[in-house]
Amino acid sequence: MGSDYKGNKPNRLGVKYAVNGIVYAFRSEMNMKVHFVVLFIVLFCGYALGVSATEWMLLTLTIGAVLICELFNTAMEHLLDYLAPEIHPTVGKIKDLTAGAVLVAAFTSIIIGLIIFLPKFLLIL
Ligand SMILES: Nc1ncnc2c1ncn2[C@@H]1O[C@H](COP(=O)(O)OP(=O)(O)OP(=O)(O)O)[C@@H](O)[C@H]1O
């Protein structure tokens, strides 16, 4: 199937559009704001408590996973609201599933954060 957009597609890198997507998600989604607040707390604690390179890698991976899940969750919500604006159990299930992915990523991130930071906090108490 042809598309008007494809024919007029500008021939350049899409970084600007990707950043637009992240900025849009940050502005429109409360969860995204919470993730960024947690991200800055983790960066501050990581710097203050001197986490190792391996620990930084694990923190980066887990925080990245949460942000990726939230972006896909937001995209899925918009897609479904556009394609199927009516109330439908299947739409509800799909939205619950993508929200579940964010929750799993967030819990994983909390567990990794506790494993890395708790012993360091206990040492300075
Ligand atoms: N069209 C629909 N049909 C049936 N249930 C729906 C529909 N839209 C939303 N729901 C239900 O409401 C929940 C919240 O959906 P909504 O689109 O409001 O997401 P949200 O509250 O903005 O989520 P988030 O906090 O991740 O942005 C869904 O997980 C689903 O259970």
Where do we find the tokens 């909390």?
Answer: 110
pTM: 0.88
CATH of the domain at 49: 1.10.287.3610
Asked whether residue 47 is domain-assigned, the answer is: yes
- 70 assigned ligand-binding residue: yes
The angle, 0 to 180 degrees and rounded to 10, between the axes of the packed helices 89-124 and 30-49 is 20
Domain range enclosing 48: 34-124
User: Is the CB–ligand 1 distance for residue 87 below 6 Å?
Assistant: yes
Position in ligand 1 atom list of the atom nearest CA 74: 27
Are 108 and 62 in contact by the 8 Å Cβ rule? The answer is yes
Active-site residue among 70, 73, 106, 113?
70
pLDDT tens track for 14-46: 899 999 999 999 999 999 999 999 999 999 999
Q: Which residues contact 124 (CB under 8 A, 6 or more apart)?
A: 49
- Structural domain includes residue 107: yes
- Gap between the Cα atoms of 38 and 16, Å rounded: 25
The reply to whether 88 sits in an annotated binding site is yes
**ipTM of the modeled complex:** 0.90
Structural domains of the chain, count: 1
Does residue 20 form part of some domain?
no
Average pLDDT over residues 115-121: 96
- Per-state percent for the chain, helix, strand, coil, to nearest 5: 85, 0, 15
